[in-house]
Amino acid sequence: MIVQDTVLRNEWIVACRSVDVQDRPIQVTIMGERVVLFRNKEGIHAFKDLCIHRGAALSLGCVREGKLVCPYHGWEYEASGACVKIPQLPADQAIPGKARAIIYGCAERYGFVWVNLANQSPEFFALPEFEDQHFRNVIWGPQTVMAKPPRVVENFLDVGHLAVVHEGYLGVETHMEIGDYRVHRDENGVIRTDEIKIFQPDPDGTGQAKHVYYTYEILRPLTVKFTKRDAENGNLMSILLTVMPLDEARSVAYGVLSFNYETNLSDEEIIRFQNLIFAQDKPIVENQKPEDLPLDLQVELSLKCDRASIAYRQYLTEMGVTFGTA
C-alpha cells in the first residue's frame, strides 16, 4: 500500500546504510514504493524499481559500466534514467524517448543512503557530531517495527518510560519523577528541550550511578536526536534516530550513536546494547492504539513531562504530516 503523504514524499527518507549498496543493485521499499538503488562512479542513484518495457524489477539486474541493466531483456539505463541501449533494436532504429526509468532524489550522508520520492534535493538537517573528529560515530539499524513511524519517533522522545520499560538500564524505580522542562525552537527551526536531569544507573559504562542531563531535539518529521551530558566530565553521547515508513503498517528505524569519550566497547557491543533497549520498546510501540499518533491534543492524556511528545505532535500538525494512505 502506497503511503500518500506529500510532506513525507518531499523529505529525505533514510533508505539503507551506505555499506548496503556495493556493486549490485538492491531493492528497498519506501512508503510502499519499490525503489532500486545502485552505485556507479558518480555515486548512488535511486529509480522506481520498474522497467518500462515489461515491468521487471530492475533490482534483479546488474550494473554494467555505470549503467543499470534490466534482468529481463537487457535494456540499459544510465543514471539520468534514460535508456541508452536496447539490445533487440536494429542498429538503424532510435531508442524511443519514452524509454526512461522514473528517478528519485538520492544522496549519501551520515553513513546512510537517503531518498527523496519527489525527486527533489532539500537541504539536509545538520549532524555536527558526524563531521567532528572528537566524536566516534556508530551506525545502528535496521530495525523493523510493526508500527507507524510517528509512534516510533515519539517513543524515542518519551522521557517518562525510561525508568519503567528500561528499568536497570536507563533508569531506576527509585527515581521516576521528572522535573519540569520547556521546549524551544531555534532560528533553524529545530525544536529542542531544556536539559532534563535524569538519574541513570550506569550512564557511561563505569558502573557508577549518577545524574546526567538529557536534551531532545526534533530535526525533521521522522528524524530526532537525543543528547546525554555528564556535567562531571563533559562526556557527551548522542543518538540520532531516523525512521523510514516501509508501508502503511511498518517502519524501519536507523540511528547514529556518537560519543566524545572512550567507552571500552566495540561497535558490535554498542549496537547490541542499543538493540536490547529497542527490543524493550518494541512490544509497547507495536501494540499502541490507535496506530496513528493522535495529533489532536485532547485525545490521550498528557503530563508536563510529555512536553517533548506534545511538541512533536504540534510539529507534525504544523508540517502537515498526515500519513495518509491510498
Query: Which stretches of the chain bind ligand FES, using CB under 6 A?
Result: 51, 53-54, 56, 70, 72-73, 75
CA 215 to chain centre: 19
Burial class (CB in 10 A: 0-12, 13-18, 19+), 221: buried
Residues in contact with Co ion by CB under 5 A are: 281
Report which secondary-structure segment, H or E, holds 8. helix 6-9
281 binds, among Co ion, ligand FES, none (CB under 5 to 8 A by kind): Co ion
Closer Cβ to ligand FES, 89 or 299, answer by number: 89
Closer Cβ to ligand FES, 73 or 185, answer by number: 73
Give me the least distance between CB of 162 and Co ion, in Å please. Answer: 7
Give me the least distance between CB of 117 and ligand FES, in Å please. Answer: 22
- In the block, cell 511528545 appears at 309
Residue 138 phi/psi, 5° resolution?
Answer: -120, 130
Quote the CA–CA distance of 286 and 2 in Å, as a whole number: 20
24 binds, among Co ion, ligand FES, none (CB under 5 to 8 A by kind): none
Give me the least distance between CB of 126 and Co ion, in Å please. Answer: 25
Decide: helix, strand or coil at residue 57.
Answer: coil
Q: What is 169-183 written as a DSSP string?
A: TTB-TT--------E
Give me the least distance between CB of 305 and ligand FES, in Å please. Answer: 55
Residue 79 phi/psi, 5° resolution?
Answer: -60, -25
Closer Cβ to Co ion, 162 or 183, answer by number: 162
117 binds, among ligand FES, Co ion, none (CB under 5 to 8 A by kind): none
Q: Show the cell assigned to 167.
A: 528499568
306 binds, among Co ion, ligand FES, none (CB under 5 to 8 A by kind): none
Cis ω for the linkage preceding 294 (within 30 of 0): no
185 binds, among ligand FES, Co ion, none (CB under 5 to 8 A by kind): none
Residues in the chain: 326
Closer Cβ to ligand FES, 59 or 223, answer by number: 59
Give me the least distance between CB of 59 and ligand FES, in Å please. Answer: 12
Closer Cβ to ligand FES, 96 or 283, answer by number: 96
Give me the least distance between CB of 64 and ligand FES, in Å please. Answer: 13
Closer Cβ to ligand FES, 17 or 34, answer by number: 34
Q: How far is CA 109 from CA 38, 44, 131, 183, 319, in A?
A: 15, 11, 11, 28, 23
Give me the least distance between CB of 75 and Co ion, in Å please. Answer: 47
Closer Cβ to Co ion, 7 or 305, answer by number: 305
Q: Show the cell assigned to 266.
A: 566495540
Burial class (CB in 10 A: 0-12, 13-18, 19+), 122: middle
Within 8 A by CB and 6+ apart from 70, the residues are: 51, 53, 56, 58, 61, 76, 77
Give me the least distance between CB of 54 and ligand FES, in Å please. Answer: 4
Asked if 87 and 61 touch (Cβ cutoff 8 Å), the reply is no
Ranked by CB distance to Co ion, the top (closest) residue is: 281
Closer Cβ to Co ion, 116 or 251, answer by number: 251
